[in-house]
Amino acid sequence: MNTREMFAKAVAGGYAIPAFNFNNMEQLQAIVQAAAETKSPVILQVSKGARNYANSTLLRYMAEGAVAYAKELGWEHPQICLHLDHGDSFELCKDCVDMGFSSVMIDASSLPYEENIALTKKVVEYAHQFDVTVEAELGVLAGVEDEVSAAESHYTKPEEVIDFATRTGCDSLAISIGTSHGAYKFTPEQCTRDPKTGRLIPPPLAFDVLHEIEKKLPGFPIVLHGSSSVPQEYVDMCNKYGGNLPNAVGIPEEQLREAAKSAVCKINIDSDSRLAMTAAIRKHMAENPSHFDPRQYLKPAREEMKKMYIHKIVNVLGSDGKAE
């Protein structure tokens, strides 16, 4: 399904839909099991990098298989959307629409304002013919967005959002309020330290900017990228078993919980899945040096991801029970 109804209900209900990236079968199994057990609507996201890694046709059919699998798990009416994450050209978006994706993102946020509008509008005009919803982005996140890079974060300008949404006709808008991609969202210099634990405490998100945007576009679906919380238990587990992830830090879950109650109705999480999987694999390999059957270490990795996805759905986004 596309995101239209999912988002309308999420905005009205004060919760957010999880948008989880997948690149392989184990991630997809964990996502579908978590969504089916909690009866949560879910967005399966495929990036350009994922298409290059796993093959675009295979991923598309895996998503179709995910719907059948969800039913097999006893979820009678699965609410699953297949979404292109960070599409960077009209051609890529068109390819996904033509393949049967139900939603696409055109990320032209690195382009000048008028060029962002022109490209987004072109994608919207094409996608809407097939009832495919379109996410656009205004404002630039710090760090790397696939091949879109920016040295620093440029918050979305609330004074631009009405003009942008009206002229492009986009269905949802990704905004920049201080989140960023990856496991290193802030430098230690940008953080304070908890005196008791010595852990980094990140600076707060710009909720004032979010609220200004909400006032300008009442009820319009807002998206947060870069919303992994980088659980320190996974960072510690990686580091304990041979990893090296110094000062990895994410967005505190209390802030995401607060955002989910607002017009933010889609929250993107990828890095936390990578951390859960890697932490579990590192632990398993360290404790079982004789194992060489991938199923032996991918099974606990899948279990750890599923646990993490359920936690996000139930305790952070509040989307459980919304797709009974």
Active-site residues, by number, are 85
CB of 248 to ligand G3H, least distance (A): 15
Q: Is 200 in contact with 193 (CB distance < 8 Å)? A: yes
171 is a site residue for ligand G3H (CB under 6 A):
no
Interface residue with ligand G3H among 1, 15, 18, 21 (CB under 6 A) is 21
SS3 243: coil
CB of 226 to Zn ion, least distance (A): 6
**Considering only residues 31-90, where is the footprint of ligand 13P by CB under 6 A?**
85-86
Q: Is 235 in contact with 188 (CB distance < 8 Å)? A: no
181 is a site residue for ligand 13P (CB under 6 A):
yes
Estimate to the nearest angstrom the gap between the alpha carbon of 259 and the chain centroid. 14
182 is a site residue for ligand 13P (CB under 6 A):
yes
Dihedral in degrees, nearest 10, Cα atoms 316, 323, 301, 270: -60
Q: Is 143 in contact with 150 (CB distance < 8 Å)? A: yes
Which of ligand 13P, Zn ion, ligand G3H, none does residue 320 bind (CB under 5 to 8 Å by kind)?
A: none
225 is a site residue for Zn ion (CB under 5 A):
yes
Look up residue 252 and give its DSSP letter. Answer: -
Q: Which stretch binds Zn ion (CB under 5 A): 128-136, 219-227, 285-293, 310-318?
A: 219-227
Q: Which residue has tokens 């097939």?
A: 130
Number of chain positions touching ligand G3H (CB under 6 A): 10
**Considering only residues 257-276, where is the footprint of ligand G3H by CB under 6 A?**
270
Nearer to ligand G3H, 85 or 304 (CB): 85
Residue 262 is inside which H or E element, if any? none
Which of ligand 13P, Zn ion, ligand G3H, none does residue 146 bind (CB under 5 to 8 Å by kind)?
A: ligand G3H
User: Tokens representing 15?
Assistant: 């919760």
Residue 175 is inside which H or E element, if any? strand 172-175
- Taking CA atoms, 77 is separated from 37, 80, 195, 308, 322, in Å, by 13, 9, 48, 23, 11
185 is a site residue for ligand G3H (CB under 6 A):
no
Q: Which residues are near ligand 13P by CB under 6 A?
A: 21, 85-86, 181-182, 225-228, 268-272
Q: Which residues are near ligand G3H by CB under 6 A?
A: 21, 47, 49-50, 85-86, 145-146, 181, 270
